C-alpha cells in the first residue's frame, strides 16, 4: 500500500510540474447533442492506426481505428468503411472494401464515458455495420484531417460488487493513478469497463456522433 501511495504522489507531483505532453492534434465531435473537444493521440498497432481522444472529469475516451489494405503502414487519403467494432476484420467486410473500388480500408469507433465516479459506472458505444464512413484528407504538410458521424450501439456497465469489495483501497488508488496518467499524457489509461471487473447491464440505447472531425500532425 505504501508503494502505491508513493507512486500516486510522484505522479501528482509530475503532473503539477509539467503541462500535458506537447500535442498539436485536434478533435471535435458532438456526442448526443453535447460538444466534445480534446487533443487526440495516434498509435500504430499492427496494420491499424489508432486515434485515441481522451479527457477526465468525467473520464471520456473516443477511439477510432483506421486500417488500410493497399498501404497498411500509413493512412491513405480517401473513404473508410465503418464496421462492427466487435467483428471488424471479417471476410464479408474485406470483400465489401475490395469489391467497392472506392474504400481505402476499414474503420471502427468506440466511445466510453464515466457516468459515476470514481469509475464505478460507464456508458459505452460501439460502431456497427450501418454503411457509415470516415473521410480522410491529406494536407501539403503531411497532416491529415478526417470527418465522421454515426450511430453507436450503446450499453451500460457497472462495477461488480466483488471487484469493489476485494479490490479495496488498492483498486481505488489504481483508478486515481490511471486518471493522473491520462491527464498528464493524453493517452487512455484503462478508461474501459470491459474485462476490468464490470458487469454489462440490461439497458441499451444509441449514442449519436455528429459533426465529427479530427486533425493529426503526422511528423
* Confidence (pLDDT) at 23: 81
Kindly give, in sequence order, each residue whose CB lies less than 8 Å from that of residue 99, ignoring residues fewer than 6 positions away.
none
Query: Is pLDDT larger for residue 186 or for residue 106?
Result: 106
Place of cell 456522433: 209
Strand pairing report for 78-82 and 103-116? parallel
41 inside domain:
yes
C-alpha–C-alpha distance, residues 110 and 64, integer Å: 7
pLDDT by residue (tens digit) across 20-31? Answer: 456 899 999 999
Reported as a pLDDT band with limits 50, 70 and 90, residue 11 is very low
Per the rule left: phi > 0, alpha: psi between -120 and 50, beta: everything else, 189 is beta
122 within domain boundaries: yes
Question: Is the residue at 152 inside a domain?
Answer: yes
What are the pLDDT digits (tens) for 35-93? Answer: 999 999 988 776 677 899 998 889 999 999 998 765 655 688 999 999 999 998 899 99
Q: Is residue 174 part of a domain?
A: no
- Asked if 59 and 191 touch (Cβ cutoff 8 Å), the reply is yes
- Comparing CA positions, the residue from 114, 128, 117 lying closest to residue 81 is 128
- Of 1-10, 98-107, 114-123, least confident by mean pLDDT is 1-10
**Four-CA torsion 165, 166, 171, 173, nearest 10 degrees:** 80
Q: Is residue 6 part of a domain?
A: no
- Say yes or no to pLDDT of 155 above 80: yes
By the 10 Å C-beta count (0-12 exposed, 13-18 middle, 19+ buried), 51 is classed as buried
Whole-structure pTM value: 0.83
Interatomic CA distance for residues 187 and 189, integer angstroms? 6
Mean pLDDT of all residues in 175-187: 67
At residue 43, the pLDDT reads 85
What is the span of the domain harbouring residue 205?
21-164+191-216
Inside any domain, residue 12: no
Q: Is the peptide bond before 54 cis (omega within 30 degrees of 0)?
A: no
Per the structure, how many domains does the chain have? 1
The share of the chain scoring above pLDDT 70, in percent, equals: 74
CB-side neighbour CA atoms (13 Å) of 28: 4
Kindly state whether residue 169 falls inside one of the protein's structural domains.
no
> Is residue 95 domain-resident?
yes
Q: What is the pLDDT of residue 119?
A: 81
Amino acid at each position: 500500500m505504501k508503494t502505491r501511495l508513493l507512486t500516486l504522489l510522484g505522479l501528482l507531483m509530475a503532473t503539477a510540474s509539467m503541462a500535458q505532453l506537447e500535442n498539436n492534434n485536434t478533435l471535435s465531435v458532438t456526442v448526443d447533442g453535447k460538444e466534445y473537444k480534446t487533443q487526440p493521440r495516434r498509435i500504430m498497432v499492427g496494420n491499424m492506426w489508432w486515434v485515441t481522444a481522451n479527457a477526465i472529469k468525467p473520464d471520456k475516451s473516443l477511439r477510432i481505428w483506421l486500417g488500410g489494405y493497399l498501404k497498411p503502414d500509413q493512412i491513405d487519403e480517401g473513404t473508410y468503411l465503418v464496421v462492427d467494432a466487435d467483428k471488424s476484420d471479417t471476410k464479408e467486410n474485406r470483400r465489401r472494401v475490395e469489391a467497392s473500388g472506392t474504400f481505402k480500408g476499414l474503420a471502427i469507433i468506440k466511445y466510453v464515458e464515466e457516468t459515476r465516479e470514481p469509475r464505478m459506472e460507464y456508458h459505452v458505444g460501439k460502431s456497427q455495420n450501418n454503411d457509415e464512413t470516415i473521410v480522410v484528407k491529406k494536407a501539403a504538410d503531411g497532416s491529415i484531417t478526417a470527418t465522421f458521424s454515426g450511430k453507436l450501439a450503446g450499453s451500460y456497465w457497472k462495477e461488480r460488487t466483488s471487484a469493489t469489495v476485494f479490490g479495496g483501497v488498492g483498486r481505488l488508488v489504481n483508478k486515481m493513478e490511471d486518471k493522473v496518467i491520462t491527464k498528464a499524457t493524453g493517452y487512455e489509461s484503462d478508461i474501459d469497463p470491459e474485462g476490468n471487473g464490470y458487469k454489462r447491464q440490461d439497458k441499451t440505447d444509441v449514442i449519436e456522433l455528429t459533426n465529427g472531425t479530427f486533425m493529426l500532425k503526422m511528423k
